[in-house]
Amino acid sequence: MPIVERIESWSGQDVLDSGGEKVGRLDEVYYDPATSEPMLLSVKHGLLGRQVALIPAAEAVLSRDYVRVPYSAEQIERAQRGRVEAELSGEQIAAVGALFGVALPSSGPLYSASLIKRRHAEAEEARQHAQTLGLEAGRRKEEAEDAREHADAAAEQAHGAEREHEQAQADALEARRRETSDQPPSPQ
């Protein structure tokens, strides 16, 4: 399917059948994760757009105002479902292929464009969070190194103070010893 821009950007556009009649609006595009190719289109139709049909994306043609698919309104009507999940299984894909008589190269799962977009956003958010955590870890490492340097300096000061204290005690003991040796003997 030659597409100038990503087909999911056409969400909400009219979908026309092979006869040019409107059959609904493009709701979602499902991609094969292995090839990143659009495989199925989800088309909302019916009263208030409550019915959804899955249609093969191959040979869909984008026009200025619509997406045209090479299937009849009757085929699309038979493909209707009440609700479609963001991830389609191999069985669902095979059923759509059988209904439209096309071989879909994917055995599943297929992911909707909105699911892919959400997962990319979550991955980007996780990457940014990891980057923030990495910066925080680096800041904390620097703080720990600064604290270790301060602790080492404080330990060195404490060791020096202890040596000074020991020296002062030794000097005081020496001074007392001299005092007692310099005093005349006391009369008895």
Report pLDDT for 186: 63
Report pLDDT for 148: 92
Report pLDDT for 78: 85
Tokens for 73, please give them.
């309104």
What 49-53 contacts at long range (C-beta under 8 Å, 24+ apart), as own/partner pairs, is: 49/24, 49/25, 50/82, 51/24, 51/80, 51/81, 51/82, 52/27, 52/80, 52/81, 52/82, 52/83, 52/84, 53/23, 53/24, 53/77, 53/79, 53/80, 53/81
Report pLDDT for 3: 45
Residue pLDDT tens, the chain, 188 long: 444 346 666 788 899 999 999 999 999 999 888 888 889 999 998 766 578 899 999 888 888 889 999 999 998 888 877 678 888 888 888 889 999 988 887 677 998 888 888 888 999 999 999 999 999 999 999 999 999 999 989 889 989 989 999 898 888 888 888 887 776 666 66
pTM of the predicted structure, to 2 decimals? 0.67
